[in-house]
Chains A and B, each alone.
Chain A
Amino acid sequence: MGQYLVRRILTIIPTLIAISFVIFAVLDLAPGDPTSALPETIRPEIRQQIRKAMGLDEPFPVKYGLWMRQFFVNEPLSLIENAFDIQIGDSEERLRVTSWGSRGVPVMDMILERLPQTMWVVGLAYLVAIVIAVPVGVISAIRQYSVFDQVGTFFSLIGYSIPTFFTGLLMILLFSVKLKWFPMIYDTNLQIVDWDSFVQQLKQSAMPVAVLGFFQAATLARFTRSSMLDNIPMDYVRTATAKGFRERYVVIRHILRNSLIPVVTLIALGIPAIFSGAIITEQIFRVNGLGALLIGAIQLNDIPLVQTVTFIFAFLIVVFNLIADVVYGVLDPRIRYS
């Protein structure tokens, strides 16, 4: 297992390099001039100097190499420095990836500023989705074709088919405009200091969490149900029942434990997807998280910021693929890594 883990982690590195190359190449080969957003009054020769200072005149491999060093050496070092409040080498001279839109603010700082909002909404939504989906899937499977199963299956098909941007708008219409229960816009400046502000935080998170959670729960519940149905006709279940165990015991100790193996893998694989899903949800409810940062950066042509955020999304996918693989191996003893 240990050896497998090391080898698996090592295979991540070429994947990440390839992804970084794709992201860099797409943005670099694209037409369009990054200085076009600057005021028209800047004289052409000065514009040329700005381009030179930004390193835009270098050939492609040099630019990519420099970017790699900035991204994979300088940025992690700065992160470690900030986290532990220490200094490694000459940190003043170290070139960081800076935003074009926000006048040289390091991109990582902007991302760290936005991350908590996204994490709160995404994390809570996923938690809600799991808590709802797994029991619904389990009950649907053991009472297959019952009313509960049919209602559950219908709702999960609906949740799976209705786009989040429509459910979001419908919820705003119902709960903000008509019933006035929840605020329409997410207030990021809200500080949780006492009970009232905590309640307010819960209220403003309710709709974004519900929208993301419902969509995710639909997928998970479908999957849990079919995984349970795969296990119910197995011989070991019949053996356990024949031995006289109560149904509840058989379901929980035998069927559920085996059925959850693929479900847990799916949960790990779904985490990056829910981050991308948050891009849309954040737009609906004006949560200024990571997704809103990306959309803003795209509109401003802020290429370093776009590259970094996109790469972070890709990094999440690769890492959670690894986690899913490892978790699968840990949970299912039949999988042997050699």
Chain B
Amino acid sequence: MAVGTETASAENLASELPQRQHRTLWGDVWLRFRRHTLANVGVVVLVLLVVGVLAGPLVYTVDPEYSFIVDDIDSINQSPSVQYPLGTDDLGRDTLARNLFGGRISLAVGVVAMFVSITFGTLVGVLSGFFRRLDNPLMRFTDLMLALPSLPLLLVIIMLFRDTLKALLGPELGIFLLVVLVIGILGWMPTARVVRGSVLSVKEKEFVEAAVSVGTREPVILWQHILPNVLSPIIVSATLGVAAAILTESALSFLGLGFPSNVPTWGRLLFENKDFITQNPWLVIWPGMFISLTILSINFIGDGLRDALDPRQRR
């Protein structure tokens, strides 16, 4: 009997083995991410928004600055209709075209500012986690940056350097670079702290010790052994960083200190249209809804990624 069950289970095992798929690290992450319902909803919504914003202006070829008053005096403050899918604003400009165009800039600011802050935060975090001598001064610096009030400082820096950069690089590119750089430079600190913590714990692992013992040079250890292992907190904070940057840019524009008025971003549209809220509430609802949907879906994706990348959840 005992022999029989043993062979049976061995047979079972043998028949199971070929069926079990080859699993990769990222394949596992993907499988776990798929189980997170809200994160998947977030991906769908975000993809729709991004595709809409990128491809929309190619399909819907209405000039966002064109005023329909020229054609028809009654075309101001229209509610959504067949002719104007999302209505028109107080100057008779098409709201859909303006929102599509504004979305491009808002999303671009979010992504580029995230790259600035992630690059800087990872650099500081890795350096201070890996090199003991740099740890104290770099972390002091991080603490100091964290104690700076970011929103007031952001407003001040943009106010002060706006005109210079505008003169130097033109109104659009100048302001874009300024906004992106300032948001990135005032937003890297949380990433640096998280990365430092991960580097400190990975540095003590046996495989690093092994690499050191066979005489691997420090840059190689850092690049090939440590960095790949601290990738997951970086990915999560990069995701959440996009949402934070979009939110900050919208707040700046909402206070009237972001992009100039001929460059609509979602925040700028809210700022321009908030005084017409009684005449035409749609003008405020659309851009606000787009900002909220973007941030909500990115936050869902971030939550999903955090769970998917956490090796303790591996089954």
Contact = CB atoms under 8 A, between A and B. Distances in A.
Interface stretch (B77-85, B91-99, B160-168, B169-177): B160-168
SS class of chain B's interface: helix, strand, loop or mixed?
A: helix
A25 B259 CA distance: 25
Contacts of A30: 157, 160-161
Given A18-B144, A31-B160, A172 B277 contact: yes
Interface string B282-297: 0011001101100110
A169 B30 CA distance: 38
Interface in A4-57: 15, 18-19, 22-23, 26-27, 30-32
Interface stretch (A68-76, A199-207, A239-247, A308-316): A308-316
A310 B149 contact: yes
Interface stretch (A116-124, A154-162, A227-235, A330-338): A154-162
Given A172-B277, A276-B151, A163 B247 contact: yes
B255 A310 contact: no
B292 A161 contact: yes
Interface residues of A, number: 43
A306 interface: yes
B311 interface: no
B14 interface: no
A165 B251 contact: yes
Q: Give the interface SS of chain A, mostly helix, strand, loop or mixed.
A: helix
B185 to A, nearest CB: 12
B274 A169 contact: yes
Contact of A160 (B149, B155, B278, B299): B299
Given A162-B296, A165-B250, A15 B144 contact: yes
Interface of A: 15, 18-19, 22-23, 26-27, 30-32, 157-158, 160-163, 165-166, 169-170, 172-173, 177, 272, 276, 279-280, 283-284, 294-295, 298-299, 301, 306, 309-310, 313-314, 316-318, 321
* A-B interface, 3 closest residue pairs, ranked by CB to CB distance from nearest: A313-B149, A30-B160, A166-B288
18 contacts: A15-B143, A26-B153, A31-B164, A32-B163, A158-B296, A163-B247, A163-B250, A163-B288, A163-B292, A166-B288, A177-B278, A276-B151, A279-B152, A279-B255, A280-B254, A284-B274, A301-B159, A306-B152
Interface of B: 143-144, 146-153, 155-157, 159-161, 163-164, 243, 247, 250-251, 254-255, 257, 267, 270, 274, 277-278, 281, 284-285, 288-289, 291-292, 295-296, 299-300
